[in-house]
Amino acid sequence: TVGAVAVDRAGNVACATSTGGIRNKMVGRVGDSPVIGCGGYADNLSGAVSCTGHGESILKVTLARLILSHIEQGKSVAEASQLALQYMGDRVKGAGGAIVVSPSGQWSATFTTERMAWAAVEDGVLWYGLEPNE
């Protein structure tokens, strides 16, 4: 799965996610990626999220919306992502990752799997990582 989130100079946010699914999956099996509120969600009032990971687990906790609800309650984008991924791990033993951007330009790349390739550009500076806590 791949994804992107952005906030533009006007303060509008957007998200996008795309995937080929998992190898050898049942015909017709759909994971979280195309499901609104799970594989992605965007709202100028709270932020934009794109998720990746174990599809069925992300669906069960509606991970993208869960992250934004934590942000709406005042958490930072990093805290909100960590809380939501922790909840998914505890409740349905699923692992995954999420990238988040807020309308004010806060951003995070958080994951509970072994690795997640990510990159961010802010004010022309490029950030990127692969390992946990990088």
Partner 1 sequence: MSAVLVVHGGAWAIPNDLAQASVEGVKAAACGGFAVLKAGGSALDAVEAAVMGLEDNGVFNAGHGAALNTDGEVELDSIIMDGRTLGCGAVSSVKNIAHPVSLARAVMEKTSHVMLTDRGANLFAESIGVATVPTEALVTELERTEWKKNKTYMAGVVEDFNAQAHD
Taking the alpha carbons at both ends of the chain, their separation in whole angstroms is 21
The residue (of 16 and 75) whose beta carbon lies closer to partner 1 is 16
Out of 69, 72, 114, 133, which residue is the one contacting partner 1 (CB under 8 A)? 114
Q: With CA atoms as reference, report the closest residue to 112 among 100, 99, 94, 92.
A: 94
67-106 binders of partner 1 (CB under 8 A) = 94-97, 99-101, 103, 105
Q: What angle separates helix 77-92 from helix 63-72, to the nearest 10 degrees?
A: 130
* Residues contacting partner 1: total by CB under 8 A: 78
**Contact between 111 and partner 1 per CB under 8 A:** yes
Q: What is the number of other CB atoms lying within 10 angstroms of the CB of residue 86? A: 12
Please classify residue 111 by burial: count the beta carbons closer than 10 Å to its beta carbon, then call 0-12 exposed, 13-18 middle and 19+ buried: buried
CB contact at 8 A, 103 and 71 = no
Q: How far is the CB of 134 from partner 1 (least distance, A)?
A: 10
Near partner 1 in 39-58, by CB under 8 A: 39-44, 47-48, 50, 52-55
CB of 74 vs partner 1, minimal distance in Å: 19
State yes or no: is 62 an active-site residue. no
The residues annotated as belonging to the active site are 1
